[in-house]
Structure 1
Amino acid sequence: MITVLPRLGLSAISVAVLAAVALPSTALAEQANVEQEKQVFEKIEVTARKRTESLFETPTAITSIGASDIDKANISNLDDIGKFVPNLNITRYGVGNAAHASVFIRGIGLQDHVITTDPGVGVYVDGVYLGRQMGSNLSLPNVERVEVLRGPQGTLYGRNTLGGAVNVITKQPGAEEVARVEAKIGSRGRLATDLYTSQTLTDTLSFSASASYKERDGVGKAINLANPEKEIGEEQEFSGRLALRWQATNDLVVTAAFDGVENESGQSPYTIELTDPLDSNDPFNGDFPLLDKSMLPNNPDDLATTVAGIESTDYSGWGGSVTADWQASDVYSVKFIASKRSSEYTGGLDDDAVALNLSEFPEEGGADQYSFELQLNGTYDSWDFVSGLYYFNEDGFTSSGPFVFSPWNTPNGLLNDGQTASFGGYGYFDINQETDAYAAYINASFDVTELLSIGGGLRYSEDKKEANALFPSFAARKYVSADFDEVTWDVNASYQLTRDINVYAQVQKGYQSGGFPPRPFGGPDQFAAFDETKAINYEIGFKGQVHENVSMMVAAFVTDYTDLALPFNDPTAGGGFVTIVENAGESKAQGIELETTIAITDDFSVRSSIGYLDSEITHVDEGVIGIGEGDAPALTPRWTVMVAPSYFHDLEHGATIAVNASYSYRSDMQGQSVTRASEHIDSRELLGFNISYTNAEGDMEVTLYGENVLNEVYDVGRLQQSGFVGVMRSNDRSEFGIKFKKEFWLD
């Protein structure tokens, strides 16, 4: 592990703070060509509030990362975005499946993936809610931008955006007449290709199409399998997207889109560390007496499993949507979005990580969802509004088997105190859930004067959930149902201090739906609903161009959570690894986020950002197990830092050399919400670079790139079990290579 920060104390963070203040990253804006890329402070427009507006005039904390900067920072998946946005951390545990992404914003997120759990941060593609953690680690070729909203988004986005929202906006058909070919070859067997075209077919019809393929060798091997399907950490994915845009009339545009992905990868790198049992007085303490350190592979990236197939994972998903935009009059517009999505996955972990059959959970799951949203929007001289009706349906399942949970598999089949094991061994579990979600909302803003604007919104949300489960400890399948509803709101005010600087203040209420526990191995009584979580966020901010060469965005916030739902894992109860979800009581998060950009010269600029977050449980309800006051949310670093300098040099005859570098830091954190030394995750630092040559015509680019150049290997998740802790290791190891891009302009 890189030890720069521990060795220098807070000096590196201090440098980052100074860089963020003195070298004020705003949004990482997209520039269309070399000349535009030098215009650091061109106007950036976002649609995060379901209306087009300037980034600096939007009264909320938002980062917009454009396609150009996605390329310069070597961002290929959604989890890479988590390295560059303040108070954002994206990680994965999800049965070792590379398609899984757990998004945490300001301490709110979800590590689990079982169908009865909902994320705390919403992920959207062109306004369509994805709904599942599995499949959220999107590949990002040919996107226009990614917008990250921080803080509860209870009015415009509604349910399950307690921490914020991530909206991926794809390139629209007809926006450019181009065919583009990209190829990448690099170390660790990296191969990747991207094909994209956007063309106008007639005066009213245009289309875009893209296809992407990528692969990379693994970092370890399944050493006890004769014919393993995949290496550990191996990557292989094919994805594609087709969009058709029809200008039906001067006032009506209809866009249809279809996308699909097939991911067949190796299990994410995983190992264990032996620890003391959680409860030595419990006869079912699961201390795994047969488990010995000598059984672990010398290479922690290798896996010693004897379960064929568990070293391989797959994910397949597809989706279709139709969006109709109708400008009904000079004042009113109507927008309708309909979508259908479907996904399936397989995965699983050999939790004990050795050749013995002690704790193994192969798993499969899937979900079908469809949604409809109807918006009525209006724009007047001094005010505007966005309103809508929303419906979402999801029907999905999670199942595992035959799984093994026999921690008491001692010689003679007896427990340490001589009792015969009454459960464990091979078994199956199955959970199914259907969700119907309804909402109605309105959000409006009013210009009181030329300098002062006020706004606010209101939303009613209702969820109806029906679930059933069968576990080894259940005498029969148990059926449950629950309804959840909430009214959420926001109010805000913004004031234009100067032509280029705005300040704002806002109060937001957010809501995360309640649900059912994912692993009630302890018996049917555990399969009971937990309540929804609510949050109120108080925030002030400052945005704008503070100097002709300096832009800055600052947000300071305090968020109060009530009935905060947190998972609690208990490996000592029942015939499997129990995960229940408890409404722990109350918690508070407070922090500050700073994003800045400075154009030092016409050719040299520095973007930087820093986030600070102090979050902890402030009150625990009576009877809550495991979680205590002072515990912090899982996977939530106190400090997040990014620095990204860029330099351009014009060559003779119009060609250009561009040099980009990036530094990302995430401080240490807890793997779970219960504070345990064994679940402590150390800080990590990542360095990358991108050196590109663009020809004079601007249609060809050759790039030398490096990712994680110092080969930092770090933990992305730690989960204490009785007698050992499971450790999910990073898979973004050092990689060096060459990228080639060629564009063919068709107009």
Structure 2
Amino acid sequence: MTSMWKTALLAGAAWSAIAGFAVAQEAQVQQGMAAEGLSVDEVVVTARRREESLKDVPVAVTAFSAAKLEQQGAADITVLSQTVPNITVQTARGSNSTLISYIRGVGQQDPLWGYEPGVGLYVDDVYIYRPQGAVLDVFDIERIEVLRGPQGTLYGRNTIGGAIKYVTKRLGDDASAKVRATYGSYNQTDLLVSAQTPIGGSGLSIGGAYALYKRDGYGENLTTGAEHYNKDVQAIRLSAEYKPTDTLFFRLAYDRVEDDSNPRHGYRETLPTAGNYPLLKSVYDTRAGLGDKNHVKTEGLSLTAEWNATENLTFKSITADRKGHTQTLIDFDGTPLPTLDVPATYDDRSFSQELQAVYSDENVQGVFGLYYMNSQASGEFDTIAGNLGVSIADGGKVSTQSFAAFFDFSANLTDRLKVSLGARATRDAKRSNVFRLFYLGATPSPYQGGAQRPILQTRTNYSAEKTFSQFTPRVSVSYDLSDDLTTYASFSKGFKSGGWDMRGDALITPQTVNGYKPEVVKTYEAGLKGYMLDRRVSFSSAVFLSKYTDQQVTTQVVVPSGIASSVDNAGSSTLYGAEFEANAKLTQSLSGNVSVGYIHAKYDSFSRFVPAGAPNPLNPSTTLATGQVINVADLYGFQNTPEWTGNVSLTWRGDVAGGSLAITPMVSYRDSYQQFEQPLPALDQKAFTLVDMTAIWTAPGGRYKLALTGKNLTNERYRTGGYNFAGATYNNSVIGFYGPPRTVAGSIEVAF
């Protein structure tokens, strides 16, 4: 509550200043004395596959330019959790580069193969199929756009919660190069090198960027002596652009990310039932005994072709091939004992082809598209259960062939009234094979390099096929109240196909072989956006109501024979809320930004299958003699969905030492939230506030740039995830994962 009041006061102070300034300026305008150069910049986005002013887009969308991200001290896309209302974008629990995303309560926490993400991530219009390696560092970028609410009529892959667009820079026709070096807390040592050049006068340009990110750990593995929460990442992007005529454009792009950071084993929140292991003083330390080897590699190749057939009609093709491999370890019990150790391997590959036709004239604008994706995701992980004396091997593969046709067109009925109509037809054909095997001995199974030995028990072994089809419409009406104000109302439907639980135990939960059904979100939204006070303030606001049905929820509970996993279509829920974002030019040298999000998320029904031998959720002191389906809606809540989110920042610019200095303090607030649907006081995060500050000095001409960035300056300790395996079976393993501590870094950039 203290943090909430702190943010409210800061927001109130900032916007009182804006309001007071606005009143004074309005008086000057009326007297013909308006100050010059105080209007905010117009924001242009491509949210609807064409360039248009943010004010004219009847969608809740937030856009950040490269310069804006630099002012925020953004190292990677997880900064969006601080700056965009009603969104969670963070690193997964045991990883350094696996992404977990939620928008307006819709997402997917479990990064296991076979699960569809609820939030779509796109890099230059290419859909990133798997979350491994998807914590994208901010470099060589033009802008990031975040679209909230279901997206399927504008993008290649349907996404039920929203979409994050990562747009890299095009090369252009000029030769240039840039080098940036950074040194900071915990021996942070980063290097970025980028260059581009045209090849003669042929219309061909080539370019590339290389980034190296290294940092010592925030903590230590006290068992092995290795660093914990360190960073060791390399990334490369190469591209070639060819423009033989004014109407043709081709871009061939390659990217690769390799993450050799140590695995994150987490921090023990509870005392173990076996072994004398007191709680550690630092939340970044661990006593994990499984090891410290981790390797994630993702890479992709894409070809984009554009043909401006006429002044009004453009055809576009996007072809992409991506693959990834992960080899990791997570010690879930956080002790040297092999009580709950999980070595894991993931592999994925996807090919996609998208064809678009984009049309725009004075009265009609729109896009029509065809999309095809062929993907395979496989993996295997062991659950080494020392107290049970067994190793449990879970593995399998999911293949998906997705076909879709979509369109979204807008028509100007009058000079001020526009109507947009869109729809999508999706067909996902999936094939799956799943196995779960018990091996005697608490050592890795043969799948993870352990000794060859006979299978003790086959718990699951099946193959299945299903096709999931859905028609998802979208309609919106927008009206220009004036040249500077637009209001809109919309309805959209989102769809995420079904699948199978890769951890399912057919002996405990026999229904696992039937899989789970698709989930659907229907969202109603109304908004007002535009400019105020002679364009000194730009803003966007939205209210929304979502009806969420057949939600796919992963539940894992401890039973006598191990861990029982189930993915249930838990039921239905209602979500509603509001969002407000604005930026203002306060004076010639001072500008401000604010964002506020509110969401109320509640389950209407939550039908959970509880296996025999598991605790009864309605009476935890008892266990169930037989498996039952129980409605736990009154006991459960939404994960990763804080009720309030907020952000306030100010940027001062002035001439210093012959150059230009920009100083940006930023305060962001996140309300309390649950890590899982079931409330867990030992893991759930209380409300917290983060304070950051960035100072950037640019030399005359822009060739040299110095920056100083401070993150989490008040040194808040906050959890970003956790695991709950309480009880004697797994040594009372309750593990928390934490966001970064206070860090300070300085960088120098030279442009050529």
Alignment TM-score, normalising by the size of structure 2: 0.88
- Which residue does the alignment assign to 2:260? 264
Question: Is 1:734 aligned to residue 703 of structure 2?
Answer: no
Q: Distance in 1 between matches of 2:645 and 2:733?
A: 26
Decide which moves more: 517-526 or 442-451.
Answer: 517-526
| 1:196 counterpart residue number | 194
Equivalent position of 1:642 in the other structure: 647
* TM-superposed deviation, 1:573: 6.0
* Aligned-partner Cα distance in 2 for 1:386–1:9: 43
State how far apart, in whole Å, the 1-side matches of 2:498 and 2:678 are.
21
What stretches of structure 2 of length at least 5 have no aligned partner?
20-36, 438-456, 610-628
Alpha-carbon distance in 1 for matches of 2:688, 2:631: 28
- Whole-angstrom CA distance in 1 between matches of 2:89 and 2:434: 30
RMSD: 2.1
Q: Distance in 2 between matches of 1:335 and 1:727?
A: 47
**Structure 1 counterpart of 2:402, one-letter code:** A
SS of equivalent residue, structure 1 residue 589: strand
Matched, 1:448 2:428: no
Tell me by how many angstroms 1:673 deviates: 1.1
Match of 1:514 among 477, 495, 498: 498
For the residue of structure 2 that corresponds to 1:83, the secondary structure is helix
Aligned with 1:586 (options 565, 572, 586): 572
Which residue number corresponds to residue 572 of structure 1? 559
Question: Structure 1 residues 23, 510: closer, same or farther in 2, change over 3 A?
Answer: farther
Q: 1:713 aligns with which of 714, 717, 734?
A: 717
CA contact (8 A) 1:587 1:617 kept: yes
Report the CA distance shift for 1:372/1:574 in structure 2 as closer, same or farther (over 3 A): farther
The AA in structure 1 aligned to 2:8 is: I
Contact kept in structure 1, 2:530 and 2:539, CA below 8 Å:
yes
Q: Spell out the pairing of 1:493-512 with structure 2 (5 A cutoff).
A: 493-512=477-496
- Secondary structure of the 1:104 match is strand
The answer to whether residue 472 in structure 2 is matched with residue 488 in structure 1 is yes
Secondary structure of residue in 1 paired with 2:55? helix
Structure 1 residue 404 corresponds to structure 2 residue 384 = yes
Asked if 2 retains the 8 angstrom alpha-carbon contact of 1:295 and 1:354, the reply is no
Q: 2:244 — aligned with what? A: 248
Tell me the equivalent position of 1:81.
80
Query: Is the alpha carbon distance of 1:616 and 1:572 closer, same or farther for their aligned partners in structure 2, counting shifts above 3 Å?
Result: same
2:83 partner letter: F
Match 1:372 to one of 353, 360, 385: 353
Candidates 653, 660, 664, aligned match of 1:656: 660
The structure-2 alpha-carbon separation of the partners of 1:349 and 1:675, relative to structure 1 and needing over 3 Å to count, comes to same
Which whole-Å CA distance do the structure 1 matches of 2:220 and 2:637 have between them?
35
* CA shift for structure 1 position 679: 3.6
1:399 positional shift: 0.7
**Matches for 1:596-635 after TM superposition, within 5 Å:** 596-621=582-607, 624-625=629-630, 627-629=632-634, 631-635=636-640
TM-score (norm 1): 0.88
Question: Quick one: distance in 2 between partners of 1:239 and 1:39?
Answer: 39
User: Match of 1:376, as an amino acid?
Assistant: A
Query: Match of 2:186, SS?
Result: coil
Task: Decide whether the 8 Å contact of 2:332 with 2:733 is kept in 1.
Answer: no
| 1:417-442 alpha-carbon deviations (Å, 9 max, x no partner) | xxxxxx65223221211111110011
Matched position secondary structure for 2:682: helix
Structure 1 Cα separation of the partners of residues 427 and 13 of structure 2: 46
Give distance in 1, aligned partners of 2:409 and 2:606: 37
Alpha-carbon shift at residue 327 of structure 1 (Å): 1.0
Does the C-alpha gap of structure 1 residues 684 and 380 become closer, same or farther in structure 2, counting only changes over 3 Å? same
Deviations 1:625-683 (A, max 9, x none): 57424632211111111111100112464x11211111111111001012333342112
Structure 2 CA distance for aligned equivalents of residues 21 and 366 of structure 1: 53
- 1:166 Cα shift? 0.2
Q: Is the 8 A contact 1:533 1:561 kept in 2?
A: yes
Deviations along 1:229-279, one digit per CA (max 9) or x if unpaired, are x4110101110101111113221111110011111102236122338xxxx
Q: 1:12 pairs with 2, 7, 11, which one? A: 7
Rounded to whole Å, the distance in 2 between the matches of 1:486 and 1:137 is: 30
Query: Is contact 1:252–1:325 with CA below 8 Å preserved after alignment?
Result: yes
Contact 1:97 1:314 in 2 (8 A): no
Q: Which residue of 1 aligns with 2:672?
A: 668
Report if aligned partners of 2:7, 2:668 keep a CA contact under 8 Å in 1. Answer: no
Equivalent residue, structure 1, for 2:222: 223
- Counterparts of 2:231 and 2:39 in 1: how far apart (Å)? 35
Task: Tell me, in whole angstroms, the C-alpha distance in 2 between the residues paired with 1:103 and 1:255.
Answer: 29
Distance 1:613 1:328 in 2: 45
Q: Shift of the alpha carbon at 1:501?
A: 1.2
Aligned to 1:415: none
Q: Secondary structure at the match of 2:220?
A: coil
Aligned CA distance change for structure 1 residues 564 and 158 (closer, same or farther; 3 Å)? farther
Instruction: Please give the secondary structure, in 1, of the residue aligned with 2:702.
Output: coil
Change (3 A) 1:334 1:114: same
Q: Does 1 or 2 have the higher relative contact order (CA < 8 Å, sep 6+)?
A: 1
- Quick one: distance in 2 between partners of 1:14 and 1:651? 31
Change over 3 Å in CA distance of 1:726–1:49 after alignment to 2: farther
Query: How many angstroms apart in 2 are the aligned matches of 1:179 and 1:40?
Result: 32
User: Aligned AA for 1:553?
Assistant: S
Partner amino acid for 1:41?
A: V
Q: Assess if the C-alpha contact under 8 Å between 1:679 and 1:725 holds in 2.
A: no
Change (3 A) 1:200 1:84: same
Residues 662/9 of structure 1: CA separation in 2 closer, same or farther (3 Å cut): closer
Bigger mean CA deviation after superposition, 644-653 or 434-443: 644-653
| Alpha-carbon offset, residue 477 of structure 1 | 2.8
* In 2, Cα distance between equivalents of 1:546 and 1:493: 22
Indicate the residue corresponding to 1:303 in structure 2: 286
Secondary structure in 2 matching 1:680 = coil
Unaligned runs of 5+ in 1: 1-5, 25-37, 276-287, 410-422
Report the equivalent of 1:320.
301
